[in-house]
Amino acid sequence: MINLSAGGMCLQVANPIPAGTAVKIETSEILLLGDICYCSADNDGFRVGFVAKHRMAREAARQDQLVSTHP
Protein backbone atom coordinates (compact mmCIF):
# COMPACT_ATOMS: atom_id res chain seq x y z
CA MET A 1 0.00 0.00 0.00
CA ILE A 2 1.34 3.40 -0.97
CA ASN A 3 -1.30 5.57 0.69
CA LEU A 4 -4.71 5.32 2.30
CA SER A 5 -7.66 7.71 2.38
CA ALA A 6 -11.22 7.59 3.68
CA GLY A 7 -12.50 6.54 0.25
CA GLY A 8 -9.83 4.16 -0.96
CA MET A 9 -6.14 3.55 -1.41
CA CYS A 10 -3.24 3.54 -3.82
CA LEU A 11 -1.48 0.19 -4.20
CA GLN A 12 1.74 -1.00 -5.82
CA VAL A 13 1.12 -4.26 -7.73
CA ALA A 14 3.24 -6.47 -9.97
CA ASN A 15 0.70 -6.82 -12.81
CA PRO A 16 -1.70 -4.32 -14.36
CA ILE A 17 -5.34 -4.30 -13.24
CA PRO A 18 -7.68 -2.53 -15.70
CA ALA A 19 -9.76 0.42 -14.51
CA GLY A 20 -13.30 -0.69 -13.71
CA THR A 21 -12.24 -4.09 -12.36
CA ALA A 22 -14.19 -5.14 -9.25
CA VAL A 23 -11.78 -5.99 -6.41
CA LYS A 24 -12.05 -7.55 -2.96
CA ILE A 25 -9.32 -6.68 -0.44
CA GLU A 26 -9.16 -8.75 2.74
CA THR A 27 -7.04 -8.29 5.83
CA SER A 28 -7.31 -10.04 9.17
CA GLU A 29 -9.54 -7.19 10.39
CA ILE A 30 -11.49 -5.77 7.43
CA LEU A 31 -13.10 -6.68 4.12
CA LEU A 32 -13.23 -4.02 1.38
CA LEU A 33 -15.20 -4.28 -1.87
CA GLY A 34 -14.70 -1.73 -4.61
CA ASP A 35 -13.28 -0.92 -8.02
CA ILE A 36 -9.98 -0.01 -9.61
CA CYS A 37 -10.23 3.58 -10.84
CA TYR A 38 -6.80 3.87 -12.52
CA CYS A 39 -3.72 1.84 -13.32
CA SER A 40 -0.39 3.31 -14.38
CA ALA A 41 3.04 1.82 -15.03
CA ASP A 42 5.64 2.54 -12.36
CA ASN A 43 9.33 1.67 -12.01
CA ASP A 44 8.57 -1.36 -9.85
CA GLY A 45 5.33 -2.54 -11.48
CA PHE A 46 2.02 -0.70 -11.51
CA ARG A 47 0.20 1.77 -9.28
CA VAL A 48 -3.53 1.25 -9.00
CA GLY A 49 -6.17 3.39 -7.37
CA PHE A 50 -8.83 1.48 -5.45
CA VAL A 51 -12.16 3.10 -4.55
CA ALA A 52 -13.90 1.34 -1.66
CA LYS A 53 -17.67 0.99 -2.07
CA HIS A 54 -18.30 -1.34 0.89
CA ARG A 55 -16.40 -1.89 4.16
CA MET A 56 -17.05 -4.52 6.77
CA ALA A 57 -15.27 -5.80 9.85
CA ARG A 58 -14.13 -9.38 9.15
CA GLU A 59 -15.84 -10.88 12.19
CA ALA A 60 -19.15 -9.32 11.11
CA ALA A 61 -18.92 -10.42 7.46
CA ARG A 62 -21.53 -12.96 6.40
CA GLN A 63 -22.01 -14.19 2.83
CA ASP A 64 -25.56 -12.76 2.63
CA GLN A 65 -24.18 -9.29 3.48
CA LEU A 66 -21.62 -9.27 0.66
CA VAL A 67 -24.12 -8.86 -2.19
CA SER A 68 -24.37 -5.31 -3.47
CA THR A 69 -27.30 -3.74 -5.29
CA HIS A 70 -25.10 -0.94 -6.65
CA PRO A 71 -24.54 -0.97 -10.44
What's the pLDDT tens digit per position in 15-64?
A: 999 999 999 998 888 899 999 999 999 988 999 999 999 988 877 655 55
Long-range Cβ pairs for the range 5-10 (8 Å, 24+):
7/51, 7/52, 8/34, 8/37, 8/49, 8/50, 8/51, 8/52, 9/49, 9/50, 9/52, 10/47, 10/48, 10/49, 10/50
Provide the pLDDT for residue 27: 86
Long-range Cβ pairs for the range 40-44 (8 Å, 24+):
41/16, 42/12, 44/12
Grade residue 69 by pLDDT with cuts at 50, 70 and 90: very low
Q: Supply the pTM of this predicted model.
A: 0.75
